[in-house]
Amino acid sequence: MNKPSIYGLTLEQLASWLVEHGHKKSRASRIWESLYRQRVTDFAEMTEVNVETVQLLAEHFVFQSMEEHVKQESADGTIKFLFRLKDGNLIETVLMRQKYGLSVCVTTQVGCNIGCSFCASGLLAKSRDLSSGEIVEQIMKVQHHLDKLGLGQRVSHVVVMGIGEPFDNFENLLNFLDIIKHHKGLAIAGKGITVSTSGLANKIREFADAGTQVNLAISLHAPNNELRTRIMKINRAIPIEKLMPAIDYYLEKTNRRITLEYILLKDVNDRQEHALELAELIGDRRQMANVNLIPYNPVDEHSQYQRSERESVRAFFDTLKKQGVSVSTRLEHGVDIDAACGQLRSKQIKKAKAGEAGKSSVAAG
């Protein structure tokens, strides 16, 4: 039996599971205390949990549903982890050191079907969703790494911006958010969590209704349909005229500000006319939206794109400011360690395939 990760159950789900198996639901809190406060790494370390309950957990769950395959450390303190899952698939997780704390970027799917033409993550099609336990375990792997350093550091912020479209794995995403936010769990504040979506309009509405109290970022990247369709395949199915009403619904329902992500591509979407068009598109949403300008990380497979010149970035920024639009520029992390999302995974898969091809050629010779 392929056992699921122990990290995959919310506190309420764990309590119900215990009752179904003839144990007291009150033991769920002690189990969570062991997992998220004591941060044990083996069932045998759960010394404050009833022995029979520990044995039951060990029969049905695993602590390690993934193992570290590659770890890259940047000069700026960023660490990129490449984890190998039980089925052999590879995913990326990144630890970033920010002025406001330690932030972890998590992956929600193996591969991606959104098809953004500038992105390394989408080079390989989605093969499956990650379970909520596999998403939570990424945070725990990073936290265990920090614990070993002995500096008392903890993950304080989470961005759901790794490989995959989070809203295409909606239920597992909601469970993940419940687990990491819970005051008896990791207790990561909602204001410190951001979920990024390519713009699945119906799911944006569902997310608003779910009342998760976390931040939402929309990958916009273009101010009109013609340009956005060229950059992002999903715009064919969900064009801007469908996306913007969903954003309006979210703003009205939650009264929470949103971030509009805009990756700057040289001579593609970075001209002043694009900035003016973007300001017009945002319109009276100015008070509730911030545009985050993102420097492009070149990817070998997408050589048609180049990073915008600094002067173009500055002019785009200034134009939005003059139009009364709140705007920021994303700080870069780990530029020396395959900074583009999905880039490390892509390189490792290529290396493995090259190795297999080499072995085949030797065998044939």
**Token pair for 29:** 């809190």
What is the SS3 assignment for 258?
Answer: strand
**Token pair for 37:** 């406060």
Choose, from 105, 112, 116, 341, the residue flagged as catalytic: 341
- In whole angstroms, give the CA distance from residue 168 to residue 122: 14
Bridge partners (DSSP) of residue 160 are 195
**Token pair for 92:** 């990326």
Q: Is 92 a catalytic residue?
A: yes
Contact status, residue 237 vs residue 118, Cβ threshold 8 Å: no
Choose, from 92, 134, 137, 261, the residue flagged as catalytic: 92
What is the SS3 assignment for 277?
Answer: helix
**Token pair for 250:** 């979210």
Minimal CA–CA distance to 80: which of 336, 357, 363? 336
Contact status, residue 154 vs residue 160, Cβ threshold 8 Å: no
Q: Is 68 a catalytic residue?
A: no
87-to-2, 42, 90, 121, 333 alpha-carbon distances in Å: 10, 21, 9, 19, 30
Contact status, residue 163 vs residue 109, Cβ threshold 8 Å: yes
**Which are the catalytic amino acids?**
92, 341
